A and B are shown apart, each in its own frame.
Chain A
Amino acid sequence: KAGVTQTPRYLIKTRGQQVTLSCSPISGHRSVSWYQQTPGQGLQFLFEYFSETQRNKGNFPGRFSGRQFSNSRSEMNVSTLELGDSALYLCASSLITSVGQETQYFGPGTRLLVL
């Protein structure tokens, strides 16, 4: 099976712009989560989508949004970029069993630099 893919891999934007990142999960996985990783804060959960619905949301401002399509592909959008949004954005697709056993498979990430 192909792994989780994320595009683009690298991105440079300026303050005030917006950005859209894309994630294609592993075939058959319906849960897609997004994380932001910075050296100071570690891995922070942004949101999770399941069957096109946002199921969970982390503690991030409304500038961060996402969506999931019927084929489970997901996008996240960050509007009005700030310097502090520079980070590695990771997408993970999950396999969750009927007894709640979860394995997350992460993509390579998108490195966003805001100037």
Chain B
Amino acid sequence: LAKTTQPISMDSYEGQEVNITCSHNNIATNDYITWYQQFPSQGPRFIIQGYKTKVTNEVASLFIPADRKSSTLSLPRVSLSDTAVYYCLVGRRNSGNTPLVFGKGTRLSVIA
């Protein structure tokens, strides 16, 4: 399983764009990159998933360079409610193999 490295914490002011980068140097050819968001005392929530280049949905964008050794989650114009822990997971689920591992994540604090 590809090991991921994320910053432990980040601070941002409301209205700013936040970019959280995840390093995954040993990503395998067929691995997907998935980001989850977790608020205190709640289960993680799927945000976005991608394989290469750029993926955008109503919540965030995911940028993946050509070498795929890193990825960046971009949150446009954050608000206080975006304060949460963000997890980057890398892997591909084949039948029977071990589920992807959640690391420590990045704790984002949005300040008014």
Contacts and interface: CB of A to CB of B under 8 A. Distances in A.
Interface in A1-49: 4, 33, 35, 42-43, 45, 48
A88 B41 contact: yes
B104 A103 contact: no
A90 interface: yes
B54 interface: no
Interface stretch (B57-65, B70-78, B92-100): B92-100
Contact of A55 (B41, B44, B96, B100): B96
A105 B105 CA distance: 17
Contacts of A33: 99
Contacts of B104: 42
From DSSP, what is the main secondary structure of chain B's interface residues? loop
Nearest to A35: B102
B43 A100 contact: no
Contacts of A100: 30, 32, 92-94
B49 interface: yes
Nearest to A41: B104
Interface residues of B, number: 25
A67 interface: no
Contact of A42 (B92, B99, B105): B105
A104 B35 CA distance: 11
Given A42-B105, A56-B98, A56-B99, A101 B32 contact: yes
B67 to A, nearest CB: 20
Given A43-B44, A109-B42, A109-B43, A103 B34 contact: yes
